[in-house]
Amino acid sequence: YWGAMALLMRGGEAVRAEKELLVRALADPAPAVQIAAARALGQYAGGDEWERSLEVLAERADASRNPYYVAIQALNALDALDERARPVLARIRQLPDTSQDASRDPRTRDYTGRLLRKTLADLDGGKSPL
């Protein structure tokens, strides 16, 4: 995780230099590692690596199929990608809003819904509803 984050923080040149390492990290057993690598590739890579990174993020952003905090991390990454996340806009629109799920901690349960709405508003060119 921290290796992928360090490459992301160092920027495009570092990500491109270690692209193969980040591509392998997309299949890491730890979702946090997958998401960090996907964010770095999504921000700075092109072609197949960029497309695969968006696929990983869209898959992990589904709070009905992933642990709640995994979905939050993936949604945050998609939001940070701004326009580079546009190719998965249709998938983001289909993500469930679990903000009213009573089984979630009431202190954080509406976070995914707010983040989802903010990301969609940004990609739709509108202002964030938050």
Per-residue pLDDT of the chain in tens (130 residues, 90 and over written 9): 999 999 999 999 999 999 999 999 999 999 999 999 999 999 999 999 999 999 999 999 998 899 989 999 999 999 999 999 999 999 999 998 877 777 777 777 788 888 898 999 999 876 544 4
Q: Which two tokens stand for residue 102?
A: 């009573």
| 124 DSSP 8-state letter | T
Q: Compute CA 59 distance to the chain's CA centroid, rounded to the nearest angstrom.
A: 9
pTM (2 d.p.): 0.89
* Whole-number Å distance between alpha carbons of 81 and 19: 17
Task: Please report the pLDDT score of residue 28 as a whole number.
Answer: 98
Q: Is the dihedral of CA 96, 74, 121, 105 positive or negative?
A: positive
pLDDT at 126: 61
The tally of CA atoms less than 13 A away on the side-chain side of residue 96 is: 12
Let me know: does 26 contact 4? Beta carbons within 8 Å: no
Contact 122, 79 (CB under 8 A): yes
